[in-house]
Structure 1
């Protein structure tokens, strides 16, 4: 699925005159993807190359304030994998060059491979997404709920202005969209605790979800 497909599915659920409300469906889709990412982040495995120092730059997928290091394997490629204890490293270690993975006592030699698994937000662009297909419906409901509530606020302002002019409150679009928005949100949010529990269980209870993220497109 891509941003274009998500946009179309949300628009069908919202079924509103979006132009008059200046509603950005994309904004609500990306916000929904962020909410999902907090509960089921993307797992990224990257091989870092030792520099001979006690800290290494984090991979390009690392997002400050969002990402966590889930596992550090060194030496990489052993059977079974040689996962380091979290007591042997810490992250992030900040320098003027950015955030790094630092080792408390270990110093991987130059050229050595350190395999790192991190959490990262899901990617969404016009052509593809890393959001898992099995949860697209939840993400679409989240986005539709948010969009409907935005429309409710828009129409509430319009209706207040109309009532001020003629003293009569006509059929309320604001009420309609508020009701629909709450219904979509309730359906989606009922599924989100289950997603979070599944994610923690799959990671052996080691995943934490932290920070904010507002740029999910590449």
Structure 2
């Protein structure tokens, strides 16, 4: 069964148009799920379900894998996959994404290929981002204009195409011209986030959490 995990987010945005005397708590989205969200509010982490309110007065109205809708001091706020809100604007030191490890030991993360949503499995053993022909067609990847080749799988030798993806985005990290392999057939069942992307970022593991950072 596929598992979906939202990335932990450290992007930063500023808040404008606040009322005089209204103090916005610092809110950071650490996880987005259907019907719940992990929020860090003024440095304290909370797992809120829809309708619940944190001790700081932040209410989670709605949540899915793409965004959380919050009610803060009567104001309705939507936080997307790269958003963090605080009382004052400050720039992030470095783009960073944190991915919790799934029960099966793998890391799963949602992202975008050429602006279209896709669910990845992180695979450090894959030389390139890899997908089957059906995922490529869904994502608008014109693989038949790429370089034809073949690969050995458990089911035998399969035909492949090598093509560069214009843009691949995970959280607030974007890499351009990412080499990919498109397999003719149904393998792999899930798009693999391979080393053609991973080699262009910094990676480390902290207590079961995979940390990705932009190099520059």
Q: Which has the higher contact order (CA 8 A, sep 6+)?
A: 1
Task: Looking at secondary structure, tell me which structure has more helix per residue.
Answer: 1
TM-score, scaled relative to structure 1: 0.26
TM-score, scaled relative to structure 2: 0.26
Task: Looking at secondary structure, tell me which structure has more strand per residue.
Answer: 2
